Amino acid sequence: MQKKSDPDYYDRLINENEAASYLCYSVRALQNWRVRGGGPMFIKVSGRSVRYTRRDLQDWIDQRRVANTSAAPH
């Protein structure tokens, strides 16, 4: 198990199960975003294998911060 204190924690590749857990979303949601767009950046390792970095996931989260309900995400 990797810890936040590891220097590679945010840049190491993780699979879609770990990414879904990090985001508190389902794997199916990640799969839909990959097809339709709008989700976090991902790395296509092979035809059927994708990986994420926690840094890309965190960037995606940060881009969606809003101050109120009428504000649009960045």
**How much is the pTM?**
0.85
* Predicted local confidence at residue 46, as pLDDT: 92
* Predicted local confidence at residue 1, as pLDDT: 56
Total length of the chain: 74
Q: Which two tokens stand for residue 39?
A: 């989700």
Residues 16 and 54 sit within 8 Å (Cβ to Cβ):
no
pLDDT (tens place) for every residue of the chain, 74 residues total: 567 778 899 999 999 999 999 999 999 999 999 999 999 999 999 988 999 999 999 999 999 998 898 877 76
* Predicted local confidence at residue 2, as pLDDT: 66
